[in-house]
Structure 1
């Protein structure tokens, strides 16, 4: 059962490794080139993601939940849609840099629709990209493509909000009182285990809560551990 559990937890990684093995056997040259490309992107992520986690943590501390709900929540309506386009369009960095920030925004009350708009505009209508598009393909092409893309994003974000529920995303409050680890959001950094080893442990590559029958919670240490988590995967719910 332990082996099956390990396989289930690392299924995606195993599929990727299997894909590389098949590629090396069938097309060795392509396999070598794929490994080089993967190495480049891994190096890029290692350089970019720490800064993104720090920025996300700072935004989480500085921006009150009420502000996020007011400007990007379900009741923000047209104002929220407009601001979501602005946030996505002026942001820098690759699209995967947007994911931690969107988790934080959703946790603070941003709607599914506005998160979809931020991610989509981040990917396809960033301002620097529009400038280069106009330069190489012409202003008319850029304006038409930009207008059609915005229309499509608005439509797909509305559809996504109808299909995807808040509880489908990581970080939602759990029913039972006490500390909880969102294992979907956990990145396996082990900070919680180092800060509060009496309460947290690693199960596979994810953090988990130890059995609490014999544990008397130290709320000061727990709060410090919650604040130290770079992806905000730890929450405490009162009774």
Structure 2
């Protein structure tokens, strides 16, 4: 019963896909092919990231991470988040295992939220695309306001949640 509750949404989507295929085979098989392609793309990106997260878990000591990205990380924590998120490649779901590792190692929620915000707003491919498509002014405004927003959102989340709350929900 717990498995049905845990995977209920996935099972409903699978049932919908089966019903679609039953009533319209052409569209149903196109949906199956698209779903399979998406799963392959996700696994292609996610598996190397999980290996990297495992290596980072072994290589980066908790004390060092807490020194730079803990409660008193200051400007060094911001710079580390800018570097990690700025050189990122891939969709946002790739960043979540890294964010979880940082949280488990003692990074402040403020820096976790800021890291995820940098990943979505200011990673290098996005910056280059925006600059060439929309110009320097738009790019600087978008990134500047985005980074300020994510930093202040991180401070707000830090006041609302404790790392233990987030980690315990992840384990459940």
Q: Calculate the TM-score normalised by the size of structure 1.
A: 0.63
116, 119, 122: which one aligns with 1:122? 119
Alpha-carbon separation, structure 2, partners of 1:28 and 1:72: 52
Q: 1:43 to 1:83 in 2, by over 3 A?
A: same
Q: Calculate the TM-score normalised by the size of structure 2.
A: 0.84
2:67 equivalent to 1:70: yes
Alpha-carbon separation, structure 2, partners of 1:35 and 1:67: 46
Alpha-carbon separation, structure 2, partners of 1:26 and 1:138: 48
2:36 equivalent to 1:39: yes
Structure with the bigger RCO (C-alpha within 8 Å, sep 6+) is 2
2:79 equivalent to 1:82: yes
24, 40, 47: which one aligns with 1:50? 47
More helix per residue: 2
Alpha-carbon separation, structure 2, partners of 1:110 and 1:76: 9
Per the TM alignment, residue 6 of structure 1 is displaced from its structure 2 partner at its CA by: 2.4
User: Contact conserved, 1:85 with 1:118, CA < 8 A, in 2?
Assistant: yes
Written as runs of structure 1 = structure 2, the 5 A alignment for 1:80-119 is: 80-119=77-116
Residue aligning to 1:8: 5
Between Structure 1 and Structure 2, whose CA radius of gyration is higher?
Answer: 1
- List alignment gaps of at least 5 residues for structure 2: none
State the number of aligned residues. 172
More strand per residue: 1
User: Contact conserved, 1:103 with 1:171, CA < 8 A, in 2?
Assistant: no
CA-atom RMSD in angstroms: 2.6
- List alignment gaps of at least 5 residues for structure 1: 173-181, 185-239
Per the TM alignment, residue 150 of structure 1 is displaced from its structure 2 partner at its CA by: 1.2
Per the TM alignment, residue 15 of structure 1 is displaced from its structure 2 partner at its CA by: 3.6
Q: 1:74 to 1:9 in 2, by over 3 A?
A: same
Alpha-carbon separation, structure 2, partners of 1:33 and 1:164: 42
Residue aligning to 1:17: 14
